[in-house]
Structure 1
Amino acid sequence: MKLLAQYKGLEKENYILFFGKIVTNLGSMVWPMLTMILHKKLGLSATDTATFIIVSGVIFLPANLWGGHIADHFDKKKVIIGCDMISILLFIISGFLPLSLFSMCVLLVGAFFQTLEAPAYQALVAKITPPDKREKAFSLLYLGGNIGLIASPVLAGLLFHRYLWLCFVISGLSISVSTILIARFIRETDGEKENLLHKDAAVSGGSILKIFLRSRALPLFVLAHTFYHGAYAQFGYLMPLDISRAFPENGAFLYGTINSVNCLVVVLCTPLLTMFFEKVSMTKKFVTGILLQAISFLAFLLSFGVIPGYYLSIVLFTLGEIMTSIMIGAYLSSRVPEQYRGRIFGLNSFAASFMSGVVEWTSGYLFDHLGLSYAWGFSIGMTMVAVVASLFLIREDRIEFAEQRI
C-alpha cells in the first residue's frame, strides 16, 4: 500500500489522465505489431520496412516542432481534443479499408495528429501539477499507459492472422474514451510562478532557442536522450525482426507476450523504483536507465532463439525504460519556463524521432546484409554514446541548476 500511497495528493486531473491512458493504451494494438504487419502481411523486406517507418518518421518530424509551438500559443486542452477527433476518424476508416500500403498511410495520417498533440499533452501534465509532484505525476501517467498495454499486444497477436482490421478500429475507439474524459473533466490552471534559472529568458522577445543555447545541461540532455531513444526504437523494430527470424510461425504471438511482459514489469516496478530512487537525482536515474538498456541489448544479442533469454532481456530493458521515463518530463518541465515547455518537449521529440529513423534504417541494412549480430552491435554502440553524454550531464546539471537540485 505504501507503494501506491506515494501517488496520493496529486491533482484530480492527474488521476483522470491516468485512467484515460489506461483505456487508450488498452486499445493500442497496431503499433506493437507495425513491423510485423509490414514485414509479414505486406511482404516488405527488413530494409523496406525500415524505409517505410523512416519516411513516416520524416513526415512526423515537423509535427513535433509544430505541436510544441501550438501548445505554447493555444489552449492545450482544445489542441488535444481537436487532434484526437481527427485521429479517431482516420483510425476507424483505416480498419475498414483493405490492408495495403494505402490503408497504412491513412492510419499514419491519424498518427500524425497524435504526434502533433503530444507536446500539448506533456505540457498540460506539467501545468496542472505542482513542481514538487511532477515526477510522481509523470510516473503515474507512465504507469497508466503500461497497465493498458499489458493486454493489448497479446490481443493483437491473437487477432493478427484473421482479424487484424479490428486492431485498427479498436485503437480509434479507445482514443475516443480518453478524449471524452479530457473534454469533460480536465481544466487548465493559470500556471504557477517558478523561480527558474532561465527566468530572464521568459520575457518578451525571448525564445526557446536562446534558452537552449545559453545552457550547457539542456543540449547534453537532448543529445543523450536522442541517442538513447534512437536505440530504444529497436523495441518495436529489431526485436520483432529478431524473433520472427528465430520463430517464423509463432513470432507474432511470442513478440506479443514479450510486449506484455514489458508492460507487466512496468506496472509492478514503476511504483517500487519511483519510491526507491526518490532521493536520487534525475540525471543519475537517467544514466542508470541508459546503462540497463545497453545491457539488455547485449542480452538480446546472446539470446537468439532462446525464449527464456528473450524474457530476461526484456526485463532488463524495461527496468531501464522505467528509470528514464519517470524523469524525462519532470526534468524538462523543471528546467524550462512554463511558456516554453511545449516547444522544448517538441524539440526533444523531434531530435529523438529523427535519430530513431537513422537507427532503424541502419540496423535494417545491417540485418539484411551482414546479419543480426551487426545490427545489435550497432544498437549497443548508439546506447553507449548516450551513456557518455549522460555522464557529462550529471556534472553540468549539478553546476547549472544548483538551486533546483531534484
Structure 2
Amino acid sequence: MHSFIDKWRRLPRIAYIFGVSNFVIAAGAFVMPFLTLMLTKKLGMSTLEAAFYVNIVFVAYVPATILGGWLTDRIGRKTVYIGAICLEILATACAGFYANQFELIYFLFAIAFMNGMVSPVMQAWQADYSTPENRQMVFGTSYFGWNLGFAIGPAVAGLLFNNHFQLMFWGDAFTTFCAMVLILFLLPHEKPEQTETESPEREAEKAHEGGMWSLLLSRPRLLLFALVGYFLNLIYGQMAFSVPIHLDATFGADGPAIFGQLWMVNALMVVVFTPFVAGLSGRYSTYFNIAIAAVCYGIGFSLLGSTNSFMLLSMSIAVFTFGEVMSATNSQAHIANESPKNFRGRMSGTLNLLIGAGYGMSPLLSGLFIDKWGIEMIWPTVFGIGMVCAVAILLIRPKSVVAAS
C-alpha cells in the first residue's frame, strides 16, 4: 500500500493540474451527454433522424483531431489548447440562444470540433511530462478528475433539461472558462523538445525522420490496436444513444432524470476504480488490460438493456465502467509509448480519430439497427462484439510481452 501511494505522490505536477481542470469542465458537462435527448425531445426528431444528426455532429471530430494533432506538433501545446477552448466556450454560450431551434445543430457541431482539437493536445502534453513507467497513472489521474466532475454534471443537467434548458449551455460554458483559466496560468508553454523526459533506450519514442504515412506503415500492430479500439468505442457509444432510448421507452417522462443519475453512477464508479486500476494495471501488458475492458463492455451493456430495475441498471453500469477505466488508462498510454516524440500530436490525433470513429459511427449504426430489429436486439449484439474484441487484442499481442508495454 505504501508503494502504491508513493507512486501517486511522485507523479508530475501536470497530471494533477489536468485532473483539476478536467474536474471543473466535467462538473459543468451539461450539453454533450444529452445530445440524443435534445434532438428527440426538444427538436422533435425521430430515432433515425436523431441518429443521423448525432453522427453529423460527431463527424466534426474527424478534421478536428487531425488539425489539432498537426498544430500541436507545429506551434505548441498551450497555444492550440487555449485557442480551441476559447472558441468552444463561445460556441457553447451562443448555443443557449438557439436551444429550441434547428440552428442548435450548427453550434453543437462547432462545440464538437473544438473539443476534438483539444484531445490530441492534452494527450501529447501529458506524454511529454511522463515516462512509460508512470503514463498509465498520469492519464489515469486526468481521467479521474474528469469523472469526479462527471458525477455532478450530468445529474444536474438531468434536472435542468425539462424546465431550464438554456441554463445547460451557459453553465457548461462558464465551467469550461474556469478550467481554461487554470490551464492558462498553471501550465508551461514549452514545446516538446524542451520538456523531454523519456528514457534514451526507448526506441519507439525516438524522433522519426520520415512522414506520417511511413510511420504508420512501420507500426502495423499499433494500427490493429486502434482498430480494436474502434469497435470498443462502437460499444461505448450505446451509453449516449441506445441507453437513453431504452430508458425513455421504459420510464417515460422520468427517462432523462434517470439517465442523468446513471451518468452519475458511472462517474462515481470511475472515481472508485481509477486509482486502483491505474496503479495496478501496470503489472500487466496494455494488450491484456484492453482485453479485460472488452469483456466488461460486452457483459455490462448486455445486462444494461435487459432490466428496468434501477439497482440492476446501476450494477451493469459498474461492470462496464470497470472496463471503461481499464480502456481509458491503458489505450492512451499505449499510443504514447509507441509514438515518436516529434509525432506525438499527430499520432494521437490520427489513431484517436480511428478509435473515436467507433463512437462517432455508433449513433448512426445503432439507429439503423434499432429501426430494423428493435432496441432489444442491440444488447446481445454488443455482447458478441465485446467478446470478439477481447480475443482479437490478445491475438495481436507480441509473444514477448508480459508486463506493461
State the TM-score, normalizing by the size of structure 2.
Answer: 0.93
How much does 1:45 deviate? Answer: 1.2
After TM superposition, give the deviation of residue 91 of structure 1 in Å.
0.7
Q: Are 1:227 and 2:231 an aligned pair?
A: yes
Letter in 1 for 2:338: R
User: 211-220 vs 335-344, which deviates more?
Assistant: 211-220
The structural deviation recorded for 1:209 is 2.3
Report SS of the residue matched to 2:113. helix
Match of 2:259 among 242, 248, 255: 255
Q: CA–CA distance in 1 between the matches of 2:51 and 2:184? A: 37
Equivalent residues of 2:237, 2:358 under 8 A apart: no
Written as runs of structure 1 = structure 2, the 5 A alignment for 1:2-401 is 5-187=6-188, 188=190, 189-193=194-198, 194-198=200-204, 202-204=207-209, 206-303=210-307, 305-394=308-397, 396=398, 398-399=399-400
CA distance in 2, matches of 1:126, 1:138: 9
What is the identity, as a one-letter code, of the residue corresponding to 1:241?
I
Check the 8 A contact 1:270/1:322 in 2, yes or no. Answer: yes
Cα separation, partners in 2 of 1:139 and 1:183, compared to 1, 3 Å: same
More moved, 279-288 vs 52-61: 52-61
1:12-65 per-position Cα deviation (integer Å, ceiling 9, x unaligned): 222111111110110111122111111112111111111001112223311111
Contact 2:60–2:116 (CA<8 Å) still a contact in 1? Answer: no
Q: Note closer, same or farther for the CA distance 1:97–1:4 as it changes in structure 2 (3 Å cut).
A: farther
Question: 2-side partners of 1:180 and 1:271: how far apart?
Answer: 26
Q: CA deviation at 1:313?
A: 1.0
**Superimposed CA distance per residue, residues 241-286 of structure 1 (whole angstroms, 9 cap, x where no aligned partner):** 1111101110001111110000001111111222333312221111
Question: Which segments of 5 or more consecutive residues in structure 1 lack a partner in the other structure?
Answer: none
CA distance in 1, matches of 2:57, 2:237: 14
Q: Assess, with a 3 A threshold, how the Cα gap between structure 1 residues 281 and 353 changes in structure 2: closer, same or farther.
A: closer
Give the number of aligned pairs: 399
> CA deviation digits over 1:72-98, x for unaligned, max 9?
111111100001111111111111334
Q: 1:355 to 1:269 in 2, by over 3 A?
A: closer
C-alpha separation in 1, matches of 2:205 and 2:263: 42
1:14 aligned partner, one-letter code: A
**Structure 1 residues 268 and 203, CA, compared in 2 at 3 Å: closer, same or farther?**
closer
Equivalent pair of 1:21/1:148 in contact (CA under 8 Å): yes
Per mean C-alpha deviation after superposition, the further-off stretch among 223-232 and 59-68 is 59-68
Q: Is the 8 A contact 2:155 2:264 kept in 1?
A: yes
C-alpha separation in 1, matches of 2:79 and 2:386: 37
Distance 1:347 1:232 in 2: 20
Letter in 1 for 2:394: L
CA root-mean-square deviation: 2.0
Structure 1 residues 5 and 268 mapped into 2: Cα distance closer, same or farther (>3 Å)? farther
Measure the CA separation in 2 of the matches of 1:199 and 1:115.
Answer: 24
Query: Separation in 2 of the partners of 1:377 and 1:170?
Result: 37
| Deviation of the 1:405 alpha carbon | 4.9
Gaps of 5+ in 2: none
Moved more, 262-271 or 354-363: 354-363
Cα offset for 1:5?
4.7
TM-fit CA distance, 1:362: 2.1
In structure 1, how many angstroms separate the alpha carbons of the residues matched to 2:360 and 2:115? 18
For the Cα contact (< 8 Å) 2:232–2:358, is it kept in 1? no
The aligned amino acid for 1:328 is: S
Counterpart amino acid of residue 103 in structure 1: L
Q: Which amino acid aligns with 1:343?
A: R
Letter in 1 for 2:170: V
CA contact (8 A) 2:84 2:118 kept: yes
Q: Deviations over 1:102-123 (max 9, x none)?
A: 1232132122111112101110
1:110–1:339 Cα change, 3 Å: same
Equivalent AA in structure 2 for residue 217 of structure 1 = R
- Please report how far the alpha carbon of residue 393 of structure 1 lies from its aligned counterpart in structure 2 after TM superposition: 2.7
The amino acid that maps onto 1:229 is N
Contact 2:301 2:379 in 1 (8 A): yes
Q: Could you say if the C-alpha distance between residues 207 and 405 of structure 1 is closer, same or farther in structure 2, counting changes exceeding 3 Å? A: farther
The verdict on how the C-alpha distance between 1:240 and 1:5 changes in structure 2, with shifts beyond 3 A counting, is: farther
Paired letter, 2:152:
A
Q: Name the amino acid aligned to 1:192.
A: T
The separation in 2 between residues aligned to 1:365 and 1:281, in whole angstroms, is 36
Verify the 8 A CA contact 1:224 1:386 in the aligned structure 2.
yes
Match for 1:51: what amino acid?
F
TM-score by length of 1: 0.93
Give 3-state SS (helix, strand or coil) of 1:277's partner.
helix
Q: Does the 8 Å contact 2:290/2:327 carry over to 1? A: yes
- The answer to whether the Cα contact below 8 Å between 2:270 and 2:321 also exists between their aligned partners in 1 is yes
Letter of the aligned partner of 1:65 in structure 2?
I
User: Hey, what's the Cα distance between the residues in 1 that align with 2:290 and 2:141?
Assistant: 18
Letter in 1 for 2:337: S
Q: 1:226 to 1:276 in 2, by over 3 A?
A: same
